[in-house]
Each structure stands twice: as C-alpha cells, then as structure tokens.
C-alpha cells in the first residue's frame, strides 16, 4: 500500500523539479501544502478528470495562486489532460502551466488566481451558486446539485481587503458548502509576517459567522481529513480550517525560510531534498505505484455515472426542470430570447422616452427577465440609485436562504461584489449583473480586469457617469473612468445616449459569451432623442451615423451618452450657418473597432475632419479624431454645483462643440 507520505512527496518532487527547470516560481507553498492536498484530493474531492465540466463536481480553487505547481501536480497525477511535458515546460511560452493558474487555458482550473484574495472571492460566488441552484432545481429524492467548494488561502489572501468583504458575506449567507483551508506558514515574500500580520484570524472568522477549526497540523493527513469531515458535518456555516504548516516542507536547509518562497531551490538543495525525503528516482520521476494511487479517473467515472443515473431519473420525473438546468449550465440563451428582445426593442423605439439611461436600463431588465431566469442582479448598497432591481425580483435574505432569490444586496463591497459575480459565472447556471457608481468602479477594477482576462461574461452597471452627478462633487464625478475601462482588453464598454441604445447595449451584453460588459449610465434625465427602427441594427455595430447632413459633410462629430444631444444641437446651429456636419453616436468603441474597414470608413470618412465630445478625459478620443482633430472634454477633476452649472463651467456645451468644429474645418 502506498503511504500518505509518498503521495505528498510526489507533489513535492514535481514542484521542485518544475520550478528548478524554469529557474522561476514559488516552490515553498506547494511543498508546504502537500499533505493538505492529499487529505482533500485523495479522500474527499468529488471530480472526474475525464470530464472537468461535470456540473455536480466539487470545485477547488487555489487562491494563493503563486503556488500553482500544487494544482498542476494534482491535475497531472489524478489524470487530467495535463501531461508531464507541460510540467517540464512550467512558466514557458504557450505552455499549459503558466506562472499562475489560468481559467480556460489549463484543464481543471476553475478560476484564474494570482492577485491574492480574489480566489476566495470567486469561491464565495461558487458556493452561493451551488446553494441557489440547489434551492431552485433540487426536488425530493433528487439532489442533482450537491457539491462542495474548497479553497486554499494563504496569509497574503487574508491580508487583502477583499477577503474581509467576501468572507463577511459568506458568513451572512451561511454558505455551509464552502470550506477554506488557511495555509498558516507565517511567511510572505518579505519574510516572517509577524511584523505586519498579527490578526487573530480564527476569532476574525468566527465574528463573520464561520465555523472555525483551529490548530490543525497541516502536515498530518489524518488530522486534515478529520477537520474536513467535521466541516461537512455541520450545515449552517462556512468553515475555515486553520492548518499550521512549514513553507518548503522537505527542504533540509531552506524549509521555514524566505529563501524557499519565490525562487528555485537550486540544484544542490533539490538533491539534498531528495535525500531527506528518501527519494531515489530522478527528476520528474514518480513511481508507478504512487501514480496509480493518485489516479482519480476510475473513481471519478463511477461518481459521475451515479450522478447521471440520478439525473436520468430526475429528467423522467421533472422533464421541464431538467431541460432548463441543462440549458443554464451550458450557458445557452432561452429559445425565446431573440424574439422577446426584438419585440421589446421595437416598443422602446416607439415610446421615445426622455429619461435617464439608468432608468432605461431598469426598463430593459424588466423586459428581459421573463426569458432570462438565470439573471441575478445586485448592487453595492446603491440599489435605489443604480436601479438594478426590478418588479418581482426576490432578494437573497440571510434569514431565508432556503427560499433562494435573484437579487443580492452586497453592501458597500464593490470589489467583493465583482469577485463574487465572477464566481457565479464560473460556476455556471447564472448571468450576474451588479451595480455601483462609475466612480467606484475603481474599487472593483482588478476583479473587472480578471473577468476580461478569463473571457467570462458578467455585466457591470455603472451609473452616475460624469460631472452630471452635480452637487456630489469631484469625489463622485468620474473623469478618467470611462476611458480607462475602454482600455481594458476584452471589456465591452457601452455609454448609451437614450433608451434605445441602452436596450441594445443590454441585449448585446447578454449575447456575449466570452466578454464582460460595462454599461455606463446617466443619473440625470436626457432630452428626447428619437431613433427610427432602421437604425437599431446599426447601433449593434457600436458606432453609427445618428444624423447625417445634406451633401458631403465638412466635419464629423463623434459623441456618446449625454453629450450626443450637444452634438445634435451643434449640428443644427452649424447647419444654420451653412456648414454641413455629420453626427456619429459611438456608444461602444469596442464593437465599432470590430467592424470591417469599409463600414468604419463609411461612418468616419478618412478625409473629413473630426470632433469628439464626451464629459471625460480627452486623450482616449485622439485615436478617432487624430492630432488634427479636436476633443471637447475634461482633463481635470470636477466641481460641486448643480448639473447645468457644472457643464457650463467646464465648457461641455453645444457652443463649445460648434467652435471646435469650426476650428478643425479652418485647419
């Protein structure tokens, strides 16, 4: 029989050899967490390496993602499609074993981790998804959704502020199928943490409402196993298992020191570690008996077959529910979505409402919810301002979690909100959207970036989009935020000018499969702005001719959001002076830039000078107007005053646009 020590040492061997081959990486954490991994992966984790997307698998997240070799070793040893050659290519160009785990690149990786704290945030979203789906789909005798969500965290994760945000919510929501393992090795990249991390972590988590299991020897497989069993035995709290470990365990000269945190052991220390562990095999060699003991394919196939039998019976008893469950887990749109959206859009065109785009957004949500039961909304303590709720939505309430719901009050936790939303997407079965003021997207920025990097599709609703916030002043008036969000690769940013563009933005956001969307919306009502039905298909292109002129244009005005009406007013004033000008609305430069060259040039002719107008930073628009063009915008922080006064003070007016157009025409 293969010993538990041999299973753990296989992880250590693959870790130190891979890091040594790359001469780059973090061997300390994987070597220190090896026994924790054995206890979980060998004795508890429900998964099938042959089908990494099995819906009822347990989810495992390595929040301390710098320890990526732990995960790669586990995936390789248990039988996932991650051959040894990929471990030998650790951290090399185009390998499946990058420096930090990447979702969508490496089979079996549930989420991209590396920015510390976000993995635990994603895990809270995964656990919430499991709980809500179980409430919605499980029926007596048919627990088709019944799995755990495990996450390894280090002291770095728990230092990050996001850990407070998400772990507080996890306790409030009583997510009992979330089990976190604290790798308490007392060491970060700067050395022993006692000089900057002296929190009483167990008491902190108890204050959140967690079940805390203290003082577990992280190098004792049986002790960790017993802790997991204890965590599973209770059903009203998430669990933190506090595992005391030695970083770089097994290394005779570097274990427990900073030297093993973020650098290869060195050839001599690798050799010494082999001797200390009693390993006679060469680099990357794992005894066949150990490999066989680690192989999880047979057990995984059996577990999944049992679930499939259960699901077949469930389908026979509840065919509609089964069909809906499959659709949602595949991320497919409801078969009636397109027809419903098209009908709703025509109704919006017909109404021609003069309302704030945040209200138009709420109307769009209300229209689409009937064919989007997977939508789960929320706001970071600004529901009444973001207008992210809708008639008939059901809030998720701590005192009634068994009732489920589809609206989340996140509290003042923007970063945590987006990380949880990412987890909801990654689990499958939900399309989350969450709101805050555009200014406070800054708090959530890194999680927004992670959504884009992972090619997943949450929807971010950012209201109060400009100096139009008015009296709240410069702390709440976004200036550079729209531009910098547009600069995030694979993030579709929409700043619509009216109800029609807002609805189209929502429609496209929902249709996106591998792109997150940011909707940038006004607080203030906007003037009536009519669209005719034939223009709606053009809106989908991201930029289009909203109103053309008679004859060839002498200039083109590009505008977004609340400033489109200024462009139209300037166009009319210029027409009265005999100057023909085209107005282009560009609610999504992301979509516009994907159009073919001929279309883009039909909207923005090369030879015609251009002026852009947006109540934000000007530099972004230089790529569309060139150095010879002009931009009417703001390159300083705002002022506190009524909306009309603020726009006048900063020169965001039709008159300023007119002057700019005349200037570019004159050359």
Q: What span, in angstroms and rounded, lies between the C-alpha atoms of 215 and 248?
A: 19
| Phi, psi at 38, each rounded to 5° | -60, -45
Instruction: Reduce the DSSP state of residue 346 to 3 states and report it.
Output: helix
Instruction: Reduce the DSSP state of residue 290 to 3 states and report it.
Output: helix
**pLDDT at res. 667:** 83
Q: What span, in angstroms and rounded, lies between the C-alpha atoms of 492 and 521?
A: 14
Q: Which residues contact 91 (CB under 8 A, 6 or more apart)?
A: 22, 24, 25, 97, 98, 99
Note the Cα 180 to chain centre separation in Å. Answer: 20
Q: Catalytic pick from 86, 110, 165, 414?
A: 414
**pLDDT at res. 134:** 98
**pLDDT at res. 323:** 98
Q: Are 630 and 664 within 8 A, CB to CB?
A: yes
Question: 236: closest CA among 149, 137, 131, 134?
Answer: 131
Question: 432: closest CA among 409, 460, 473?
Answer: 460
Residue linked to tokens 């790798």: 183
Q: Which two tokens stand for residue 461?
A: 């609703």
| 88-97 pLDDT tens trace | 999 999 999 9
Q: What span, in angstroms and rounded, lies between the C-alpha atoms of 473 and 470?
A: 6
State percent of the chain over pLDDT 90. Answer: 98
Q: Which residues contact 229 (CB under 8 A, 6 or more apart)?
A: none
**pLDDT at res. 212:** 98
| 199-241 pLDDT tens trace | 999 999 999 999 999 999 999 999 999 999 999 999 999 999 9
Question: 60: closest CA among 159, 129, 153, 155?
Answer: 153
**pLDDT at res. 42:** 98
State percent of the chain over pLDDT 70. Answer: 100
**pLDDT at res. 252:** 97
Q: What span, in angstroms and rounded, lies between the C-alpha atoms of 364 and 390?
A: 10
Per DSSP, helices labelled H in 440-563 are 445-454, 481-486, 499-511, 536-539
Longest dimension (CA), the chain: 92
| 367-425 pLDDT tens trace | 999 999 999 999 999 999 999 999 999 999 998 888 999 999 999 999 999 999 999 99
Q: How would DSSP label each residue in 361-399?
A: HHHHHHHHGGG-TTEEEEESS-HHHHT---TT--B--GG
**pLDDT at res. 352:** 83
| Mean pLDDT score, 587-616 | 98
pLDDT of residue 462 exceeding 90: yes
Q: What is the dihedral of CA 123, 125, 127, 128, to 10 degrees?
A: 160
Q: What span, in angstroms and rounded, lies between the C-alpha atoms of 631 and 620?
A: 9
| 20-62 pLDDT tens trace | 999 999 999 999 999 999 999 999 999 999 999 999 999 999 9
| Mean pLDDT score, 656-660 | 98
Q: What span, in angstroms and rounded, lies between the C-alpha atoms of 344 and 278?
A: 70
| Mean pLDDT score, 286-299 | 98
Q: Are 581 and 549 within 8 A, CB to CB?
A: yes
Q: Which residues contact 644 (CB under 8 A, 6 or more apart)?
A: none
Per DSSP, helices labelled H in 455-588 are 481-486, 499-511, 536-539, 564-576
Instruction: Reduce the DSSP state of residue 62 to 3 states and report it.
Output: strand
Question: Active-site residue 86, yes or no?
Answer: no
pLDDT of residue 184 exceeding 90: yes
| 237-257 pLDDT tens trace | 999 999 999 999 999 999 999
**pLDDT at res. 534:** 82
**pLDDT at res. 531:** 86
Q: What span, in angstroms and rounded, lies between the C-alpha atoms of 607 and 616?
A: 26
Give the Cβ contact number of residue 410 at 10 Å: 23
**pLDDT at res. 612:** 98
Q: Are 441 and 465 within 8 A, CB to CB?
A: no
| Mean pLDDT score, 100-106 | 98
Strands, E assignment, 229-380: 239-244, 375-379
Q: Which residues contact 345 (CB under 8 A, 6 or more apart)?
A: 500, 503, 504, 507, 536
pLDDT of residue 481 exceeding 90: yes
List the beta bridge partners of residue 492: 517
Q: Are strands 544-547 and 581-585 parallel, antiparallel or unpaired?
A: antiparallel
Within a 13 Å sphere around the CA of 436, how many CA atoms are in the beta-carbon half? 24
Question: 267: closest CA among 10, 16, 15?
Answer: 16
| Phi, psi at 83, each rounded to 5° | -70, 165
Q: Are 589 and 492 within 8 A, CB to CB?
A: no
**pLDDT at res. 437:** 98
Task: Please state the pTM of the whole predicted model.
Answer: 0.98
List the beta bridge partners of residue 191: 188
**pLDDT at res. 533:** 79
Residue linked to tokens 């909707």: 519
Distances (CA, A) of 526 to 390, 410, 580, 587, 640: 21, 29, 25, 15, 20
Q: Are 555 and 611 within 8 A, CB to CB?
A: yes
pLDDT of residue 528 exceeding 90: no
Question: 291: closest CA among 17, 77, 508?
Answer: 77
């Amino acid at each position: 029989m293969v010993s538990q020590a041999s299973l753990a040492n296989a992880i250590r061997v693959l870790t130190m050899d891979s890091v040594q081959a790359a001469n780059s990486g973090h061997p300390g954490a994987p070597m220190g967490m090896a026994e924790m991994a054995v206890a979980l992966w060998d004795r508890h984790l429900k998964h099938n390496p042959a089908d990494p997307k099995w819906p009822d698998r347990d989810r495992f997240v390595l929040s301390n993602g710098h320890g990526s070799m732990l995960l790669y070793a586990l995936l390789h040893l248990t039988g996932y499609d991650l051959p040894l050659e990929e471990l030998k290519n650790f951290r090399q160009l185009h390998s499946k074993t990058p420096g930090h785990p990447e979702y969508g690149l490496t089979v079996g990786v549930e989420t991209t981790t590396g920015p510390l704290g976000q993995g635990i945030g994603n895990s809270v979203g995964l656990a919430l998804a499991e709980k809500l789906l179980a409430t919605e789909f499980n029926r007596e005798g048919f627990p088709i959704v019944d799995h755990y969500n495990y996450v390894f965290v280090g002291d770095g994760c728990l230092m990050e502020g996001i850990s407070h945000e998400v772990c507080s919510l996890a306790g409030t929501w009583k997510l009992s199928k979330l089990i976190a393992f604290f790798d308490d090795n007392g060491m970060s990249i700067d050395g022993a943490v006692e000089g900057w991390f002296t929190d009483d972590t167990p008491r902190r988590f108890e204050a959140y409402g967690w079940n805390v299991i203290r003082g577990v020897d992280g190098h004792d497989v049986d002790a960790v196993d017993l802790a997991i069993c204890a965590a599973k035995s209770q059903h009203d709290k998430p669990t933190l298992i506090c595992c005391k470990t030695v970083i770089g365990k097994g290394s005779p000269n570097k274990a427990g020191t900073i030297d093993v945190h973020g650098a290869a052991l060195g050839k001599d220390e690798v050799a010494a570690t082999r001797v200390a562990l009693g390993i006679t095999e060469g680099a990357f060699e794992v005894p066949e008996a150990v490999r066989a003991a680690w192989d999880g394919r047979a057990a995984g196939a059996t577990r999944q077959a049992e679930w499939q039998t259960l699901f077949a019976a469930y389908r026979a008893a509840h065919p509609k529910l089964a069909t809906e469950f499959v659709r949602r887990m595949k991320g497919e749109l409801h078969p009636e979505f397109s027809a419903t959206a098209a009908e709703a859009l025509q109704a919006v065109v017909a109404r021609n409402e003069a309302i704030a785009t945040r209200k138009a957004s709420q109307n769009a949500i209300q229209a689409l919810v009937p064919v989007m039961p997977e939508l789960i909304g929320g706001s970071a303590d600004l529901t009444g301002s973001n207008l992210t709720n809708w008639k008939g939505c059901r809030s998720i309430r701590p005192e009634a979690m068994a009732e489920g719901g589809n609206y989340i009050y996140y509290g003042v936790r923007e970063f945590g909100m987006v990380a949880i939303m990412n987890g909801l997407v990654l689990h499958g079965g939900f399309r989350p959207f969450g709101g805050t003021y555009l200014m406070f997207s800054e708090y959530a920025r890194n999680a927004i970036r992670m959504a884009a990097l992972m090619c997943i599709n949450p929807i971010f609703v950012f209201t109060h989009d400009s100096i139009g916030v008015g009296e709240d002043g410069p702390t709440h008036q976004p200036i550079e935020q729209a531009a910098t969000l547009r600069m995030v690769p694979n993030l579709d940013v929409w700043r619509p000018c009216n109800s029609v563009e807002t609805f189209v933005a929502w429609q496209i956001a929902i249709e996106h499969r591998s792109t997150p969307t940011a909707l940038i919306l006004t607080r203030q009502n906007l003037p009536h702005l009519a669209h005719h039905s034939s223009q709606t298909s053009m809106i989908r292109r991201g930029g289009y001719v909203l109103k053309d002129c008679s004859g060839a244009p002498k200039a083109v005005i590009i505008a977004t959001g609340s400033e489109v009406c200024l462009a139209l007013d300037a166009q009319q004033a210029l027409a009265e002076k005999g100057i023909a000008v085209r107005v282009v609305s560009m609610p999504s430069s992301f979509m516009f830039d994907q159009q073919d060259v001929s279309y883009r040039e039909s909207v923005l002719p090369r030879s015609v000078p251009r002026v852009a107008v947006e109540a934000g930073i000007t530099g972004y628009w230089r790529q569309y107007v060139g150095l010879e063009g002009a931009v009417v915008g703001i390159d300083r922080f705002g002022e506190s005053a009524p909306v009309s006064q603020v726009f006048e003070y900063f020169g965001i007016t039709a008159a300023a646009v007119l002057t700019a157009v005349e200037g570019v025409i004159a050359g």
